[in-house]
């Protein structure tokens, strides 16, 4: 903590603090300085851990991009089996949703032909101004 300060310098600082602050205020000043130093140390450790976690996350992202660039061709058999299992699980999860989508499209009404919809639009547009008058 005091890498650049020797024992004699610390002793001189302590004597000066005793002279300047006096024996009554010195203990409270030491407590407040120690609280400040501990809070600064906690904050530095917090920043350090956050930075390390961000760097670790960035490393994971770069490793993932490298794996994508390789095309997942040079994987070990265990990893390839795991990927195949995950793909099968994803397909089995998607099957019920695909079945629901096809069932819901069968229940919908048949669309109106373009000619009928055009006639409906023209009649609606001609009827609208008449109602306003």
Residue 108 burial (10 A CB sphere; 0-12, 13-18, 19+): exposed
Q: What is the pTM of this model?
A: 0.42
Residue 75 burial (10 A CB sphere; 0-12, 13-18, 19+): middle
pLDDT tens sequence across 7-21:
899 899 989 999 999
Q: What is the mean pLDDT of the chain?
A: 77
C-beta contacts of 84-93 below 8 A and 24+ residues apart: none
Question: What residue ranges do the domains of the chain occupy?
Answer: 75-101
pLDDT tens sequence across 59-83:
877 777 777 777 666 667 777 777 7
Hunting for tokens 């960035």 — which residue is that?
58
pLDDT tens sequence across 20-33:
999 899 999 999 99
Contact (CB, 8 A) for 82 and 93: no
């Amino acid at each position: 903590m005091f890498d650049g300060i020797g024992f004699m310098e610390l002793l001189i600082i302590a004597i000066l603090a005793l002279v300047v602050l006096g024996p009554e205020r010195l203990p409270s000043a030491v407590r407040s300085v120690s609280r400040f130093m501990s809070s600064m140390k906690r904050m530095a450790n917090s920043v350090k851990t956050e930075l390390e976690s961000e760097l670790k996350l960035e490393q994971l992202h770069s490793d993932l991009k490298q794996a994508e660039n390789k095309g997942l061709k040079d994987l070990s058999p265990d990893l390839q089996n795991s990927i195949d299992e995950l793909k099968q699980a994803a397909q089995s999860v998607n099957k019920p949703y695909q079945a629901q989508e096809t069932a819901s499209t069968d229940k919908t009404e048949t669309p109106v032909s373009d000619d009928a919809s055009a006639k409906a639009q023209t009649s609606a547009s001609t009827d609208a101004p008449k109602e306003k008058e």
